[in-house]
Structure 1
Amino acid sequence: MRSGGRMAELVPFAVPTENDKTLVVWELSSGPSAEDLQRSLFAVFSPFGLLYSVRVFPNAAVARPGFYAIVKFYSARDARRAQKACDRKQLFQNSPVKVHLGTKHKAVHHRALALNSSRCQELANYYFGFNGWSTRIMKLQNLSDLEEGETAERATAQQQSLRFFCALEVVLPAYACRSPGAGLAEEPLDKQEEGPLSILMKRKLTQKLAIQKALSNAFQKLLVVVLENGKIAVEYRPSEEVIDAPTEAESLQDVMHVPSFAGEQGGHGEEDRPHLGAQEDALWLPGTG
């Protein structure tokens, strides 16, 4: 996209999987733990732009002891600046590290995934500011099989479910932009649920999920336009199809600036599974051919 003869970058509210947004960092020391390296890498790379994830993995058994990392930015421009500034620098260790943009052996197509509501808010806060956007709930409707006032015994005897629908809009006053979104959430009630308190808790949870899904849906129609001079604009695409809505488990997960590393449950699904060179035949790493 060009604006006034200059290139502008479009940043969608989607999980960044593109090669030009992914940095591969290797020749990390074997001294610190993976968790310590993760914190150090986050401190080094976050000043260049908002990070989606920093993940650290041990080198393959055939390589010398140590670690490598995969760092994902939301912006390709930020990733390029970070790569140029940090490649072959010591950073936080005594020996220099190597930092390259991710490349592929062959064409591997990844289906884009929508950001969950927490990630959407983090991205919006970064580009628009905490006070630069707001939400307005237009409708929150109970579509449950269970009616108000029903007893817990009757509810659990019939394998019923709680269902809520939410319609809201994201408002960006500075850009005169409004983006509507809709979300539907459902929580089953099984025979183990006892008492009105547990039903009330599930009702609140289902309402929250519906709102979060609607918020994520509204953000999918927006693109952040980052101009070369650093200024921000917004592009609204009302016909934009929602890309793979996030799971309910992901919607509930708190935003983590430093996501879990290998061996832990990151909770981000298939899109955040590490590519291990020739093993996955997707991401090129030195020494893997």
Structure 2
Amino acid sequence: MDIEVDIIEFKVPLENNKTIFVWDIQPSFSEAYIYVCPNATVAEPGFYALVKFYSSAQASKAQRATDKQCLFQSSPLKVRLSTKQNLSFYSSKPLSLSKCQNLANHYLGFGGWSTRIVTLKDISNCVDAGCQEETDDQSVLLKYGCIAELTFPQHRMSCQGVGVAEEIIDNDRDPEEKLRKRGTLMKRAKDKAVVAAFEKVLVMILGNGKVAIEIKYDPDEILPEENSEGVIKVNDISWNEFEDADSNIEEDFPWELTVDLPH
């Protein structure tokens, strides 16, 4: 007997079976109240919406539960699974770090995964590697690279991701401001590395409710050794000392209306 498997990926969903199309939304709400798109000018006034799910099973469940229901308005909504790709709606961007963390917590639990920094290195002046950008005499390139490891202890699996963050700053900046900027770049490189590791992960929800993990390995990917020369260990860094005021701003996608329904 075949076992139904729902595959969850740590990326913006693209599949039609993970997207529901909602229409016949009454024009009584403003776009500030509900994130929707206005109907075409040739149609009657109203709105429609596309809602994306990580899980195809949850998308199907939501469609069945909401179709022909009034919900937040006086007339019934029409809700269907998407059948046609809208290229302006899709994006190849990865999930933000917070969404990766929330998704992992939802399916694996808070103790079901962990991360550690393998290496964090200043690569601003790696001329031999050909990665130094041209700057004028009044500016300097700051660039950090990070390798992060993502581990799933209950499944005895792990993978690594690489992240790079860089910025050109003025030479005449205050030394303390340069130090804060370095700390911010280190954190950005670390966050990007963790996101890159999550992108390799497939969470498989079996029909019996059990969860399995698979890792997508790239045979062409080459990661530096853990004891690389010039490495800065993460436990030497106090991130709180370097937090900029804007470092916690989440790079969300305003159109990503993901809904997690209870099991």
TM-score (normalised: structure 2): 0.75
Q: Please state whether the residue corresponding to 1:79 is helix, strand or coil.
A: helix
2:180 is aligned to 201
Residue pairs, 1:28-47, within 5 angstroms: 28-36=25-33, 38=34
Q: Please state whether the residue corresponding to 1:115 is helix, strand or coil.
A: coil
2:147 is aligned to 167
Residue from 188, 202, 205 that aligns with 1:226: 205
Deviations 1:204-244 (A, max 9, x none): 111011101110111122100011122211112222789xx
Residue 161 to residue 107, structure 1, CA distance change in 2 (3 Å): closer
Given the alignment of the two structures, is residue 66 of structure 1 paired with residue 63 of structure 2, yes or no? no
Q: What is the alpha-carbon distance in structure 2 between the residues aligned to residue 26 and residue 202 of structure 1?
A: 46
Letter of the structure 2 residue corresponding to residue 214 of structure 1: A
Q: What is the alpha-carbon distance in structure 1 between the residues aligned to residue 64 and residue 184 of structure 2?
A: 45
Provide the aligned length of Structure 1 versus Structure 2: 223
Residue pairs, 1:240-251, within 5 angstroms: none
Q: CA deviation at 1:105?
A: 7.3
Q: CA deviation at 1:107?
A: 10
Residue from 206, 210, 216 that aligns with 1:237: 216
Q: Please state whether the residue corresponding to 2:170 is helix, strand or coil.
A: coil
Residue pairs, 1:142-221, within 5 angstroms: 142-145=122-125, 157-190=137-170, 194-221=173-200
> Which stretches of structure 1, 4 residues or more, deviate above 3 A after TM superposition?
105-108, 110-113, 155-158
Q: What is the alpha-carbon distance in structure 2 between the residues aligned to residue 218 and residue 176 of structure 1?
A: 15
Residue 241 to residue 129, structure 1, CA distance change in 2 (3 Å): farther
Q: What is the alpha-carbon distance in structure 1 between the residues aligned to residue 192 and residue 52 of structure 2?
A: 24
Q: How high is the sequence identity, in percent, across the aligned residues?
A: 40
Letter of the structure 2 residue corresponding to residue 229 of structure 1: N
Residue pairs, 1:118-129, within 5 angstroms: 118-129=98-109
Q: CA RMSD in A?
A: 3.0
Q: CA deviation at 1:106?
A: 9.9
Residue pairs, 1:257-272, within 5 angstroms: 260=254
Letter of the structure 2 residue corresponding to residue 221 of structure 1: K
Residue from 24, 29, 36 that aligns with 1:56: 36
Q: What is the alpha-carbon distance in structure 1 between the residues aligned to residue 91 and residue 161 of structure 2?
A: 21
Residue 200 to residue 237, structure 1, CA distance change in 2 (3 Å): same
**Equivalent pair of 1:209/1:252 in contact (CA under 8 Å):** no
TM-score (normalised: structure 1): 0.68
Letter of the structure 1 residue corresponding to residue 250 of structure 2: D
**Equivalent pair of 1:222/1:236 in contact (CA under 8 Å):** yes
Deviations 1:57-107 (A, max 9, x none): 122222222211110101111111111111111112111000011112799
Q: What is the alpha-carbon distance in structure 1 between the residues aligned to residue 82 and residue 3 of structure 2?
A: 25
Deviates more, 1:203-212 or 1:129-138: 129-138
Structure 2 gap segments, 5+ residues each: 127-134, 222-246, 258-263
**Equivalent pair of 1:20/1:79 in contact (CA under 8 Å):** yes
Q: What is the alpha-carbon distance in structure 1 between the residues aligned to residue 98 and residue 123 of structure 2?
A: 25
Return the structure number with greater helix share.
Answer: 1
Q: What is the alpha-carbon distance in structure 1 between the residues aligned to residue 138 and residue 150 of structure 2?
A: 38
**Equivalent pair of 2:96/2:250 in contact (CA under 8 Å):** no
Residue from 250, 255, 259 that aligns with 1:254: 250
Deviations 1:193-213 (A, max 9, x none): 621122122111110111011
Q: Please state whether the residue corresponding to 2:183 is helix, strand or coil.
A: helix
Q: Please state whether the residue corresponding to 1:62 is helix, strand or coil.
A: coil
Letter of the structure 2 residue corresponding to residue 210 of structure 1: A
